[in-house]
Structure 1
């Protein structure tokens, strides 16, 4: 089989011992009925909450405990190009086959879920999940296809101020939510100044709940500088998690309009 970086992976049998180093993929595994096969997770795998108690925690997404991972004897380790470093992935290759996801849009999400169906021999379950997400997406698009799209500046960090620009999954989800990304002409996650012209042009300012935990105090801070703008704290998981949580994204997007 191949992962989303087109790397070839070989299995003698269906993997039964899984380590996931990506929170959204961990939640996806559980919702696909594979919780019993999970042997290791990261400290950031917060959904469902009990996993960090019932499963071995092998580190974070950027720092891992190699010896702990070896001791768990995984059949497969699930990674992501953006979440996990190249060095981490290379260090794990001698332990077990590594599947690396690479997500920029909904089609990539559907491809990943379909790959899991093949790898873990649950094709019917994964095809049902993809179909259900597509139904949510189509219903939302039908309802909001004729609205005037507002420009959004989507903040992910403070000190320095950073926004989600293009060439990432959040940008795709801003579009999915029926908005225009004010920073679509820039790449990745640029640092910006609060006097940036693109910020002044934005109709809305979204402060993501993750990775930086924006609070109401930050809304007040920005509102004093931009009294004419609507400023909201938004659920970062529903804009950036690309697994089964997508089932909840579109009903949430309705509340933002």
Structure 2
């Protein structure tokens, strides 16, 4: 059986994979929701959903630093990676051990495609179809919810010291757009370091979002920034809702509705 991943690599499988290593937290959660928890043998230390999974599975490192020998010893049938989350070196190493699927996620359409891929490759197409159908329904309902909302200029911070934001060519930017949030940094690429002075000049800035991850922004950060951005709303937001794809999105749209309200 031959399959193609989202960066164009071809996977050749002699059988349905039974031993899975996932190096991406949101994809690990998707596997569990696809009914494949028993097949997962290795995960990262950041795979925190469901909460008890780290107690039951072998931790093979982080998303960008892995224990190569642990991966070998687990004898996986397939390894699941992501172009952004994992380094090129990690992916190349994994390919030497087992067939490796690499996702590349920028839009909801990419999420639907990834879910379909897993259904086909991991022999869970029925559950995959259910998740895809639910996700499409949630998306359609949310688009109706926001269609009359006014566009608001925002900035989405992911790090401090140095200050870093989510810009164009990111899944976060796509999610902001779905919410009719106009990203001030949409003309920048990926996750740039920024100077607050540039943002201070933007008179139409409505809201600054401070993400819960990867930097854990707190209330004290709101106080620090509010002294400079007196007219903007500054809000702590759940970073998982904006950046985790897969089945996490089934919960995200209700969160976005509450955020608007």
Match of 2:184 in 1: 182
Could you tell me which residue of structure 1 aligns to residue 219 of structure 2? 216
Aligned residue among 223, 227, 231 for 2:230 = 227
- Once the two structures are TM-superposed, the CA of residue 198 in structure 1 deviates from its matched residue by 7.1
Q: How does 1:1-257 map to 2 (within 5 A)?
A: 1-197=3-199, 200=202, 201-257=204-260
Question: 1:151 offset after TM fit, Å?
Answer: 0.9
Distance in structure 2 (CA, Å) of the matches to 1:103 and 1:51: 24
| Aligned-CA RMSD value | 1.0
Runs of 4+ in 1 over 6 A off after TM superposition: none
CA distance in 1, matches of 2:220, 2:201: 19
Any idea what SS the aligned residue of 2:12 has? coil
Task: Tell me if structure 1 keeps the 8 A contact 2:43–2:60.
Answer: yes
Give distance in 2, aligned partners of 1:88 and 1:139: 38
| 2:236 aligned counterpart, secondary structure | strand
* Distance in 1 (alpha carbons) for counterparts of 2:179 and 2:29: 22
TM superposition shift of 1:197: 4.1
TM-score w.r.t. the length of structure 2 is 0.96
Between 1:111-120 and 1:133-142, the stretch displaced more is 133-142
C-alpha distance 184-199 of structure 1, shift in aligned 2 (>3 A): farther
Query: Which consecutive unaligned segments of at least 5 residues does structure 1 have?
Result: none
1:182-219 Cα deviation digits (max 9, x unpaired): 11111111111111147734210000000000000000
Asked if structure 2 preserves the Cα contact closer than 8 Å seen for 1:183 and 1:198, the reply is no
Asked if the contact 1:182–1:199 (Cα under 8 Å) also holds between the matched residues in 2, the reply is: no
> C-alpha separation between the residues in 2 aligned to 1:251 and 1:8?
37
Unmatched segments (≥5 aa) in structure 2: none
Answer yes or no: is the 8 Å Cα contact 2:200–2:228 preserved in 1: no
**2: CA distance, partners of 1:238 / 1:84:** 20
